[in-house]
Copies of this chain bind each other. A is one copy, B any other.
Amino acid sequence: MQIRAVVWGENVHEQTNEVVAGIYPDGIHGAIAAALNQDAGISATTATLQEAEHGLPEARLAETDVLLWWGHAAHGDVDDAVVERVAEHVWSGMGLIALHSSHFSKIFKRLMGTPCSLTWREAGERERIWVTTPGHPIAEGLPDHFELDHEEMYGEPFRVPEPLETVFIGWFQGGEVFRAGLTYRRGCGQIFYFQPGHETYPTYHDATVQQVLRNAVRWAHNPAQRLADVTDAPNRPVDAALEPIEEKGPKLHKPGEAGFR
């Protein structure tokens, strides 16, 4: 069975900026989805900010294995309810891949619990990305490093939590470094942040970048059934305790009462 990927694109620059429209006539999301679909094991479609519920209604998320997210100019326009819905699906097992300027997306910041800020420079400089965790599924088939002739500089400190794994580190011509590929788990959901992808450069047409994205989709896919009720805090009543216990001491809650939250 194919992995069902949805590539979410903000789709603003593509509509308003000729350079971006020229590089990505089908949108950044369209280019990424096409790259993913080169893998017969992945079935990728797109969703955009402008669609109803940003193209991410409950029914669609329920059938999404991995969500990729590219946003930049319109982070603030994303509906909080959709953000929370996406977060719940991640906690329940949906994979999430946050791309480039999505470090500042509501959903990524929501899941990290940190500012996710960084330094930046738009100078078309060279970036060289090094694999720091050879053998990691996301780096499968990659050389020890690869280069992008033009990329936006993203610099440390990248204010995210200490990751599970640092997969890539980027070297920038202007003198900065950046943790370009980081993994996290939030609940049952695997999360990957991948730094390259400035809208005015053809980054997502790069063969190695495309390979990383395909690898990341496979890695982020959790084949287990989506978990329900991850935000619930179920009471385990005394008479159903796994070991025999007797109730002791004063109680705040009456039998059957739900907990506070």
| Chain A interface residues toward B at CB < 8 A | 13, 17, 19-20, 72-76, 87, 91-93, 101, 104, 110-115, 117-125, 128, 130-137, 140-141, 144-145, 150, 153, 155-159, 161-162, 164-166, 169-177, 179, 184-189, 198-201, 222-224, 227, 230-238, 241-243, 245-253, 259-261
Contacts and interface: CB of A to CB of B under 8 A. Distances in A.
A101 B261 CA distance: 9
A104 B260 contact: yes
A125 to B, nearest CB: 5
Contacts of A259: 104, 120
Given A114-B186, A114-B187, A125-B248, A155 B177 contact: no
A155 B242 CA distance: 12
B161 A247 contact: no
A174 B135 CA distance: 25
A145 B198 CA distance: 25
Nearest to A241: B174
A148 to B, nearest CB: 11
Given A161-B161, A170-B177, A174-B243, A120 B224 contact: no
Contacts of A118: 233
Given A132-B179, A134-B157, 11 more contacts: A111-B113, A114-B186, A119-B236, A120-B233, A123-B238, A123-B245, A141-B224, A171-B172, A174-B242, A200-B249, A200-B250
A173 to B, nearest CB: 5
B236 A135 contact: no
A29 B250 CA distance: 20
Contacts of A249: 124, 150, 200-201
B135 A260 contact: no
A92 B161 CA distance: 13
B223 A134 contact: no
B179 A222 contact: no
A256 to B, nearest CB: 12
